[in-house]
Structure formats: C-alpha cells, structure tokens
Amino acid sequence: AQSVTQLGSHVSVSEGALVLLRCNYSSSVPPYLFWYVQYPNQGLQLLLKYTTGATLVKGINGFEAEFKKSETSFHLTKPSAHMSDAAEYFCAVTANSGNTPLVFGKGTRLSVIA
C-alpha cells in the first residue's frame, strides 16, 4: 500500500523567495511520484512526475522536485515565488506497476506575500 504525508498544511512565502513544499511517501514497491496544483474552483493540474531515471525532475512554471529514495521524500521547490503560484499543492504516489490508484496527500496551501 502507498501513502503520502505533506508536512505543513499552509506555507507562506514572500514574493521572490524560495518555495519549498515537503512530501514524504511510503510505498512497499518502487513508486511513481507526482505533484499536482489546484487553483480555486478548478481541478488539479499536473506539475511534474517522477517515474524512473533522473531523480531531479523539472516541471511547469519553474517548479522542480527531487526523488530521494533513502529519505523517502519528493520535495517540491521553486527558486523564486510569484504571486500567481498561490494555490494548493498535492503530492501523490502510486505503485510503478500501474495497477493501483493514485494516492494523494492532504495538500499544502501556498500563500505568496507581496
């Protein structure tokens, strides 16, 4: 079975500051890992994913995440926050077999202060 823990239900950063959203996963088999973003009154949009290969993955809007197996982590970062980054971010995991549904964390709400 898979599970995800997102540390911090709410993170607040200043515009131009580093964004760091934490995600730790649990999986009994090699995982596929994802970050999604949700803007108000909308569905979820895929930011980036890790399946195999390079452990540092780059996504849309300047976000990137690094898969660290030894730490069972997949933290999301962006060097410089923009006001438009304010949204809710979800980390998700599934087994690499593709036979299990995507399991989401509880989400982290990112606020960006001008």
Partner 1 sequence: KAGVTQTPRYLIKTRGQQVTLSCSPISGHRSVSWYQQTPGQGLQFLFEYFSETQRNKGNFPGRFSGRQFSNSRSEMNVSTLELGDSALYLCASSLAPGQGNSPLHFGNGTRLTVT
Catalog residues that contact partner 1 under the rule CB under 8 A. Answer: 32, 34, 36, 41-46, 49, 51-52, 90, 94, 96-107
Q: How far apart are CA 60 and CA 43, in angstroms?
A: 16
Shortest Cβ 41–partner 1 spacing (Å):
7
Burial 77-108, CB ≥16 within 10 A → b, else e? ebeebeeebbbbbbbbbbbeeeebeebbbebb
Burial 27-49, CB ≥16 within 10 A → b, else e? beeebbbbbbbeeeeeebeebbe
43: its two tokens: 């569905």
Shortest Cβ 51–partner 1 spacing (Å):
4
For partner 1, which is the closer residue by CB, 73 or 94? 94
Shortest Cβ 101–partner 1 spacing (Å):
4
For partner 1, which is the closer residue by CB, 70 or 99? 99
For partner 1, which is the closer residue by CB, 53 or 114? 53
For partner 1, which is the closer residue by CB, 38 or 72? 38
Shortest Cβ 97–partner 1 spacing (Å):
7
